[in-house]
Amino acid sequence: DTFYRLRNRLTSGLGVLPDGPLNAAVGGTMMFTTTLTPPEKPFVFVGWIFIHNNIDANIISSTSTNNTTPTYEGRITLFRSIGSLELRNLSLNDSGEYRVTITPDGGVQMTGSTRLEILVTVSNTDLVEFNSSVSLSCSSSGSSLSFHWLNGSSEVTASDRVQLTDGNRNFTLINVTRYDQGPFRCRVFNPVSDGTSDPVNFSISCELLISMLIFLHENYLNGSNIDLSCSADSKPSAQFKWFLNGSLLFDTGPELRLMNVQKNQSGNYICQAFNNKTLRYQTSQPSAITVVGKLALSRPTIACPTENLIEGKTSVNLSCNADGFVPTRAWMKDGKPLVSGDRYSFYDGNRVLSISPVDRKDTGEFLCNVSNDISFETAKCRLDVHYGPDTPIIVQTPIGAELEESVTLSCFADSLPKATFSWRFRYMEKPGPLYYIKEMEEKHLGKYICTARNAITGLEASAVHTLTDYFQAYTFDPIKCISITHNYSFILSHCFLKHQKMMII
């Protein structure tokens, strides 16, 4: 058992008794052995007294007969030949000073004293985390005593798990955890003295999360060797069992070595750890191992769609198929990895890429990369997403055309496939993206409408352009004229105009 003991000043036995203090446990026995040897003639008198709080209490006095105090009847044995005393069934009240007086036949009376400290055994120091509670008691003789408990260097205070009773003499810790191992000490003090008990440490059985490691890969060829390792932070050390698909394996211990594996050894492996103190089990998460007969891959194929893909209307699924063992599939577009989200979704272990709906940005080359531990293959599929036409843009050349000058109107629209164009001016229509006027007249002035059409999407879009006579549309408003003279004679007047034309007068 583990005991608390206070370091008090040593008490001299004055040569008759050994120096103290002496320590004993509650319920135990203490032998006060003198340093004397049996004399030739028996001692005339042997007496023992107990001193506590400066009060003397007789234990036994022996002359020709023994006179024992009733409270000590049945608890003591006096060895009269040497004056020793055995005290049994000790209690906390037995802590204090013990004094013996011996009178030899024809000799000088001898006296000796020593101090006995009765120590309380800890209720239990071998504990189970969350299941155990422990109680400590601290005792010391003296007056005006104060008791404090320390965990390491920190003072212990009452809480939902800590109970301090009887003036802090008793300390109870409920539902211990792994962090309650100590060392715990009791400090006792009064205005004139201070003492601290020896430390007590608890052995707390506990376990942490279990984990399993698979070295190398999760997929293996027939005949491979596989190492699995399981660990559990446990006190005491855990005992291990292994399971395959729920069936107990014969192997035990933290490591499982599978030699020359076959397909029938594929499945979910788990390990189970057992703590024989806490009587608790912990089971790892399953780890899947696949044993295959063939790792070589065939070149994968992608079933590219043959129908026309129209932006915003069509959805498409690309399926990547390959023979052999294919643990990994990854999709890319134009050399960049694709991730799920927005319009992209993956199904069947990344075998199927779904695009819903398609967008013009999806036009390009899609790659499906398939791989296992020894092979890597790629399949390609090009998508052309039809879109448009977008709203046409009309460009006039030249911009500032005047009557009797030639004019060209050009119509552009983003579209796949390329759009077809037509022009309408008043009641006249003309096909093509260009509208050419060799010599612009008054009758050519007005609004021109360009319409773009996409034969696959079935969509069309139009834009309007107004053709004007640049000379008539803008007036020339001189804002500044400069007259140049030489020898007081007029030579030239230069005027700057509001628009991009200039007249010299």
439 Cβ contact partners less than 8 Å away, ≥ 6 residues apart:
404, 405, 406
Band of the pLDDT at 302, cuts 50, 70, 90? very high
CA 463, CA 310: separation in Å to the nearest integer? 23
Q: Each residue of 61-90: pLDDT tens digit?
A: 999 899 999 999 999 999 999 999 999 988
Task: List, as one string, the DSSP characters of 108-146.
Answer: --EEEEEEEEEEPBPS-SEEETTT--EEEE----SSS-E
Segment 253-267 mean pLDDT: 89
The tokens for 207 are 């376990």
Band of the pLDDT at 18, cuts 50, 70, 90? confident
Top mean-pLDDT range of 196-205, 214-223, 350-359: 350-359
- Residues present in the chain in total: 505
Top mean-pLDDT range of 113-127, 188-202, 488-502: 188-202
Backbone torsion region of residue 242, taken as left when φ is above 0, otherwise alpha when ψ lies between -120 and 50, otherwise beta: beta
Backbone torsion region of residue 336, taken as left when φ is above 0, otherwise alpha when ψ lies between -120 and 50, otherwise beta: beta
The tokens for 270 are 């788990």
- Residue ranges of E strands in 236-347: 239-244, 247-252, 255-258, 267-275, 280-283, 287-292, 301-302, 309-310, 316-321, 328-333, 336-337, 344-347
Query: What domains lie within the chain, and their CATH numbers?
Result: 22-119 (2.60.40.10), 126-201 (2.60.40.10), 205-292 (2.60.40.10), 301-385 (2.60.40.10), 393-471 (2.60.40.10), 474-505 (no CATH)
Reference 1, options 122, 128, 138; nearest CA is 122
Instruction: Report helix, strand or coil for 318.
Output: strand
Inform me whether the pLDDT recorded for 46 exceeds 70: yes
Inform me whether the pLDDT recorded for 449 exceeds 70: yes
Give the residue with greater pLDDT, 14 vs 380. 380
Band of the pLDDT at 206, cuts 50, 70, 90? low
Q: Is the dihedral of CA 210, 216, 220, 225 positive or negative?
A: negative
CA 302, CA 320: separation in Å to the nearest integer? 5
**What helix, strand, coil percent values describe the chain, rounded to 5?**
5, 50, 45
pLDDT for 299: 82
pLDDT for 309: 95
DSSP 476: -
Question: Within 10 A of 114 (CB to CB), how many other CB atoms are there?
Answer: 21
Top mean-pLDDT range of 225-234, 280-289, 313-322, 495-504: 313-322
Q: Which ranges of 226-346 does DSSP label H, i.e. alpha helix?
A: none
Give the residue with greater pLDDT, 56 vs 237. 56
In contact, 413 and 452? CB cutoff 8 Å: yes
CA 221, CA 292: separation in Å to the nearest integer? 5
The tokens for 389 are 């036409």
In contact, 220 and 291? CB cutoff 8 Å: yes
Q: Is the dihedral of CA 443, 446, 447, 448 positive or negative?
A: positive
Instruction: Report helix, strand or coil for 263.
Output: helix
- Residue ranges of E strands in 364-459: 364-371, 376-383, 385-386, 393-397, 407-412, 420-425, 428-431, 434-437, 446-453
Segment 113-125 mean pLDDT: 66
- Exposed, middle or buried, 117 (CB in 10 Å: 0-12/13-18/19+)? buried
Reference 300, options 361, 367, 238, 220; nearest CA is 367
Band of the pLDDT at 497, cuts 50, 70, 90? very low
Taking the chain, what is the end-to-end CA distance rounded to the nearest angstrom?
127
Inform me whether the pLDDT recorded for 4 exceeds 60: no
